């Protein structure tokens, strides 16, 4: 776990080192904001995954939405459960 966490830190420092100087030189404010938010979200998700905190799976939500339609259509096509 220690190595994984340090890997994430090194990787994020690398990403910041590669992209931020360019964004600042060009004076892109909004780009820098979106970049920071995406990076923060990415780091947060990776850290939570590494320390084994269960994350919500978006496919669960998609399944919840589409399961009734799927059941209906496949019953129409004569599928056995």
Partner 1 sequence: MIEQGKIAPYQFTILVILFTVGSTILIIPSGLAFEAKHDAWISSLIGPAVGLIFVALYHLLGQRYPALTFVEIVMHTLGKWIGGAISLLYVFFFFILGALVLRNLGDFMTTQVLPNTPIQYIHILFVLVVISGVRNGLEVFTRTAEIFLPWVILFFLFLIVLLPYQFKLDNLLPVVGYGIAPVARAALPYIGSPYAELITLLVLYPYVSNNRKAGKAFAIGVLIAGFILFLIVMTTILVLGPKITAVQMFPSYILAKKISVGHFLERVEVIMAGIWFITIYFKLTICYYASTVSLAHVFKLKECRQLYLPLGFSLIVLSIISYPNTTYFFHIVTRIWSFYSLTFGVLLPLIILGLSLMRRQGAGSS
* Contact flags string 6-45 toward partner 1, x per CB under 8 A: --x--xx--x--xx--xx----x-xx--xx--xx-xxx-x
Report helix, strand or coil for 29. Answer: helix
Would you count residue 70 as binding partner 1 (CB under 8 A)?
A: yes
Count the neighbouring beta carbons within 10 Å of the beta carbon of residue 74: 12
Would you count residue 59 as binding partner 1 (CB under 8 A)?
A: yes
Spatial contact of 49 and 55, defined as CB atoms under 8 Å apart: yes
Residues at the interface with partner 1 (CB under 8 A): 8, 11-12, 15, 18-19, 22-23, 28, 30-31, 34-35, 38-39, 41-43, 45-46, 49, 55, 57-59, 62-63, 65-67, 69-70, 73-74, 77-79
């Amino acid at each position: 776990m220690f190595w994984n966490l340090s890997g994430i830190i090194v990787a994020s420092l690398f990403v910041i080192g590669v992209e931020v100087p360019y964004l600042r030189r060009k004076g892109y404010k909004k780009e820098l904001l979106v970049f920071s938010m995406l990076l923060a979200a990415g780091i947060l998700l990776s850290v939570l995954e590494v320390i084994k905190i269960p994350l919500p799976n978006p496919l669960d939500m998609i399944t919840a939405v589409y399961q009734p339609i799927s059941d209906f259509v496949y019953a129409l096509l004569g599928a056995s459960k």
